[in-house]
Chain A
């Protein structure tokens, strides 16, 4: 049944088409394009007119930048009128059309030309932050569009304007490839650059570009401390000079500075700081034994400082050790600083314990009120003969063959 219907449909289509072909054959020679205008300004009413004697009303296919459609005509006293829909006539570009009357149908092209009018200044600028010194630049891209959201004609004048400190500049640029652009280079100074543009009386809004300092140049460092004693308690502060780029602009706040401290053993201590107004500071606690430091600072990969050196004077010349409670309590102290005052709490004292010649363990304590007490519990340390070495403030004392019981 379905088959039958299909056959009937196909046959009727063939019959129908043969009729229409015959009809067209008679009539198509009569259809002629009347409209001679091929350039229309965007937004204007576009009507394609054809002269026609017969009654047929062929469809008109037309296609523009965004899509295609079919238009039905109005037939008025021998004229076929095709009005181009508004969504097509408001877009610039080529509109190609074809009258669907028969195989030798009429085709044509219409140019919908842009208006010399700017309604919107679509502006893009980037990157938003550039480096001073004149080499780095930001790019202003302007897409001026008319009130129907079409790009403006090629070679439309756009004025690119920018203000920076005392400079105010305007440059004429012209649209090409639907856009206009200009590279805006930085100056030697840092600051905020304001950018805008104007075309055919329409102005863009204001854009801000941040011009930051270029990479830092070499700088110097200094150290301040309350005294030069190695008391393991006071703090030495390192400070950079004002770090600047090659045009004497102070580097951006937050520039990361690393201080490398090399001590007399060749070990490296590291401390870091961030710049504020070009100055970075960083601190390091004093050593607790006599030492000599070499300090150098770096902004990683960009610049470095001079090298300075600091010496720390030994404060504890000697210390007393007393054994009590069956030699199971070891008291170290008094530990006295440079004015014979008790050393501030927290000085490290290390006790190495040997049984015979065999190393047993190391106990570490910090000083409190100038003393350190070690208690060797019988549960851990059996009765017997032990040797001890005590290290603090870079000094070592040894006690051999102490009997614990």
Chain B
């Protein structure tokens, strides 16, 4: 018994010794690695820091006609960068009620004004999420020594969401005019004074775009070899031309294509992607097909801080293609209602609402729609879109009634069934699935319903695909298999029975 106790004591002593040594070694190595960080000569000039684009509201300077020194492009750009950063840090500060970053962009005395707001809002549990969507600055004055500037920023469009104890109490879009004095301190253009000179509720003019002539009989298009990646490395106008000929010959008049948010380069849209998109439209034009472009696909952020980046994405694409003859309409976002649960319905709707305003401000000729994934959501934002689009993969017997219900709620705008289809997959993962004959029957039946209801349509999709990217339906094989067999043409390029009902009963 005594021997056992002794052994236990020994074990404890040895163990504690080992632990102690371990701690000392890790402490010493911690100190050693701490002393080895920092003064790295290669980083002395901060050459590795690249400007991250995080806030890009539309900014249009009035022609320079300022008093004082003549402004040059480089200084103006520095002023603009710091001014937008000042807005950005302010938005972050009011969103989090923290003061980080403010001192870089506001002088000693002006930052007190922000601090007092943050202190007040913190105690009152008020938080404000905001972003500015457009700026129209005028340079009023630039001092002879280049250290002081006065700017009037007219009609700044500010979108705000005000929360009290985490509950949204106000959503507002305002336009304001600010007069701002900047001082160049420590290489930063800092705000010294900011005076709001005018304010109004923002009410952009709703321009109605005629949709009477719309007669969409179309199809959602992806190339057979590269579904969900039309504009990748394998992009080929020959393939597209061949496919468009099939579509045109089948009696259809339009296609729907998709702009993938990240592939296109987010806020800075890659020029080569625009080129490919334009080439696609050129080919469509050659075959006398019209194109519905879905501006946002594979996008699900919606956060207010990134709105300005999303707007630049849409603006670049719309600006590049708005005069194209083949363009039929802009579809803002594919199935946004699927993000209601994860992101919140109100923020998604607000995002769409503002995106519609943005697209209309760039292109006021082409109609706008949103590709809702079901009939229930179709009435959302019905007053903002020019025609209402929805997708239908449910029971065909209920379609007729669903259309009639929608028509009672949406009286003055065309309805377009923008996606529908049936997978003809019957196999290992779904032995009781539909056959190709079932699929043909489905298309025959739906063409009948569409004709009776005088509905415009775009079916899903031309081809059976071989590879479905994981991002589309996930990894589950039964889902992938089903997604592979929605086409009118099978994987070998032969028309399936459904093909005869592609455009008519």
Of B126, B147, B172, B195, the contact of A69 (CB 8 Å cutoff): B126
The answer to whether A93 touches B140, judged by C-beta atoms less than 8 angstroms apart, is: no
Residues of B within 8 A of A92 (CB): 195
The answer to whether B126 touches A70, judged by C-beta atoms less than 8 angstroms apart, is: yes
Residues of A within 8 A of B113 (CB): 65-67, 87, 91
For window 115-138 of chain B, which residues contact chain A by CB distance below 8 Å? 116-118, 120-121, 124, 126, 128, 130
Known interface pairs A93-B196, A100-B170; A69-B124 also in contact (CB < 8 Å): yes
The answer to whether A87 touches B120, judged by C-beta atoms less than 8 angstroms apart, is: yes
A23 at interface, CB cutoff 8 A: no
For window 134-164 of chain A, which residues contact chain B by CB distance below 8 Å? 137-139, 141, 143, 145, 149-151
Interface 9-residue window, one of B21-29, B173-181, B300-308, B374-382? B173-181
The answer to whether B181 touches A66, judged by C-beta atoms less than 8 angstroms apart, is: no
Known interface pairs A94-B196, A177-B179; A141-B148 also in contact (CB < 8 Å): yes
The answer to whether B193 touches A143, judged by C-beta atoms less than 8 angstroms apart, is: yes
Of A61, A85, A150, A183, the contact of B144 (CB 8 Å cutoff): A183
Q: Which residue of A lies closest to B114 (CB)?
A: A66
Of B126, B143, B172, the contact of A141 (CB 8 Å cutoff): B143
Q: How far does the alpha carbon of A70 sit from the alpha carbon of B122 in the complex, in Å?
A: 11
For window 244-291 of chain B, which residues contact chain A by CB distance below 8 Å? none
Of B114, B121, B199, the contact of A109 (CB 8 Å cutoff): B199
Q: How far does the alpha carbon of A67 sit from the alpha carbon of B129 in the complex, in Å?
A: 11
Instruction: Output the residue of A70, A138, A141, A149 with the most chain B CB within 10 A.
Output: A70
Distance in Å from the Cβ of A219 to the closest Cβ of chain B? 31
Residues of B within 8 A of A72 (CB): 124
A359 at interface, CB cutoff 8 A: no
B150 at interface, CB cutoff 8 A: yes
Q: Which residue of B lies closest to A139 (CB)?
A: B144
Q: Which residue of B lies closest to A70 (CB)?
A: B126
Distance in Å from the Cβ of A181 to the closest Cβ of chain B? 7
Q: Which residue of B lies closest to A91 (CB)?
A: B113
Interface residue tally on B, bucketed by range: 35 or more
Of B164, B174, B193, B196, the contact of A70 (CB 8 Å cutoff): B164
Known interface pairs A67-B128, A70-B126; A181-B117 also in contact (CB < 8 Å): no
Q: Which residue of A lies closest to B158 (CB)?
A: A63
Q: Which residue of B lies closest to A64 (CB)?
A: B196
For window 172-206 of chain B, which residues contact chain A by CB distance below 8 Å? 172, 174, 176, 178-179, 181, 183, 192-199, 201
The answer to whether B181 touches A179, judged by C-beta atoms less than 8 angstroms apart, is: yes
A256 at interface, CB cutoff 8 A: no
The answer to whether B198 touches A94, judged by C-beta atoms less than 8 angstroms apart, is: yes
Q: How far does the alpha carbon of A98 sit from the alpha carbon of B174 in the complex, in Å?
A: 12
Of A63, A100, A145, A178, the contact of B174 (CB 8 Å cutoff): A63
B409 at interface, CB cutoff 8 A: no
B403 at interface, CB cutoff 8 A: no
Interface of B is mostly: strand
B109 at interface, CB cutoff 8 A: yes
Per-position contact with A for B45-80: 1 when CB-CB < 8 Å, else 0? 000000000000000000000011100000000000
Per-position contact with B for A107-142: 1 when CB-CB < 8 Å, else 0? 101000000000000001111000000000111010
The answer to whether A98 touches B144, judged by C-beta atoms less than 8 angstroms apart, is: no
Residues of A within 8 A of B141 (CB): 177, 179, 181
Of B110, B128, B183, the contact of A68 (CB 8 Å cutoff): B128
Residues of B within 8 A of A178 (CB): 150, 179, 181, 193, 195
Q: Which residue of A lies closest to B341 (CB)?
A: A6
Residues of A within 8 A of B176 (CB): 94
B350 at interface, CB cutoff 8 A: no
Residues of B within 8 A of A67 (CB): 90, 94, 113-114, 117-118, 121, 128
A234 at interface, CB cutoff 8 A: no
Per-position contact with A for B141-160: 1 when CB-CB < 8 Å, else 0? 10111011010100000001
Residues of A within 8 A of B109 (CB): 149
The answer to whether B172 touches A138, judged by C-beta atoms less than 8 angstroms apart, is: no
Q: Which residue of A lies closest to B145 (CB)?
A: A126
Instruction: Output the residue of A65, A98, A143 with the most chain B CB within 10 A.
Output: A65
A59 at interface, CB cutoff 8 A: yes
Distance in Å from the Cβ of B435 to the closest Cβ of chain A? 36
27 A-B pairs, CB-CB below 8 angstroms? A59-B169, A61-B162, A65-B178, A65-B194, A66-B113, A67-B114, A68-B117, A69-B120, A70-B126, A70-B162, A70-B164, A87-B113, A87-B116, A87-B117, A100-B170, A124-B143, A124-B147, A124-B183, A126-B143, A126-B144, A126-B145, A126-B147, A127-B144, A149-B110, A177-B141, A178-B195, A179-B141
Known contacts A125-B145, A181-B141; 14 additional CB pairs below 8 A are: A59-B169, A63-B174, A63-B196, A64-B196, A65-B113, A67-B117, A68-B94, A68-B162, A126-B145, A126-B147, A139-B68, A145-B193, A177-B150, A181-B68
